Chains A and B, each alone.
Chain A
Amino acid sequence: SYELTQPPSVSVFPGQTASISCSGDKLEDTYVTWYQQKPGQSPVLVMFQDSKRPSGTPERFSGSNSGNTATLTISGTQSMDEADYYCQAWHSSTLVFGGGTKLTVL
Chain B
Amino acid sequence: QVTLRESGPALVKPTQTLTLTCTFSGFSLNTSGMCVSWVRQPPGQALEWLALIDWEDDKYYKTSLKTRLTISKDTPRNQVVLTMTNMDPLDTATYYCARRQGGLTGDAFDIWGQGTMVSVSS
Distance of B102 from chain A, by nearest CB (Å): 11
Say if the beta carbon of A97 comes within 8 Å of chain B. Answer: yes
Say if the beta carbon of A33 comes within 8 Å of chain B. Answer: yes
Say if the beta carbon of B55 comes within 8 Å of chain A. Answer: no
Q: Bits for B51-88, please: 1 = Cβ < 8 Å to A, else 0.
A: 01000000011111000000000000000000000000
Distance of A46 from chain B, by nearest CB (Å): 10
Distance in angstroms between the alpha carbons of A83 and B37 in the assembled complex:
23
Q: Bits for A45-70, please: 1 = Cβ < 8 Å to B, else 0.
A: 10011001010000000000000000
What is the interface of chain A mostly: helix, strand, loop, or mixed?
strand
Note all chain B residues with C-beta closer than 8 A to A90: 107
Contact residues of B with A, CB < 8 Å? 37, 39, 46-49, 52, 60-64, 96, 98, 105-110, 112-115
